[in-house]
Amino acid sequence: MPVIKIQHSGEPLSNDTCSMLQRQVTGLINRVLGKAVPVTAVLISSLPNQHWSVGGDAITYHRSALMEIYITSDTNSEDEKRLMISEAYSLLEASLGPLVEASYVVIQELAPTDWGYGGVTQDERRHITAQT
């Protein structure tokens, strides 16, 4: 049940590019981290260049991006996370064009008691699954 937030500098993406990126990111997290497609949420937003700075200066060339990936703690190995970060960065660059080096992919691991979907925490979901 990952949530993926992508923010980028510059003009908003076209609807087609946005949809393509959402599908590709969903497929990537399924393939690399084994996350379920039906409960993967991808949010994409843009900020004007003057609202995004690197090294204290507003972006004036290329784009910058930030991808935040929220997953349940202890569900993936270091190698899987390393591969996800590498492939996610490549996907961002392929979709958005050249990125400034200070563009980030962050994997945030949350305790299963601290988040959920459909009003049920991941911890509760594990207990329900174990009982069936």
Count CB atoms within 10 A of the CB of residue 32. Answer: 19
Q: What is the pLDDT of residue 85?
A: 99
> Which long-range contacts link 32-37 to residues 24+ away (Cβ below 8 Å)?
32/80, 32/83, 32/84, 32/87, 33/2, 33/71, 33/75, 33/76, 33/80, 33/81, 33/84, 34/76, 34/80, 35/1, 35/2, 35/71, 36/1
Model pLDDT, residue 16: 97
| Cα→Cα distances 9→57, 60, 73, 87, Å | 13, 10, 29, 20
d(CA 111, CA 89): 25
Considering only the top CATH level, what class is 3-131? Answer: alpha beta
What was the pLDDT predicted at 62? Answer: 86
Predicted TM-score (pTM) of the model is: 0.93
* Ranges of residues in the chain whose predicted pLDDT is under 70: none
Q: Give the distance, in angstroms, between the CA of residue 115 and the centroid of all CA atoms in the same chain.
A: 16
**Cα–Cα distance for residue pair 112/72, rounded to 1 Å:** 6
Tokens of 132: 């069936």
Please measure the distance between the N-terminal and C-terminal CA atoms of the chain and give it in whole angstroms.
20
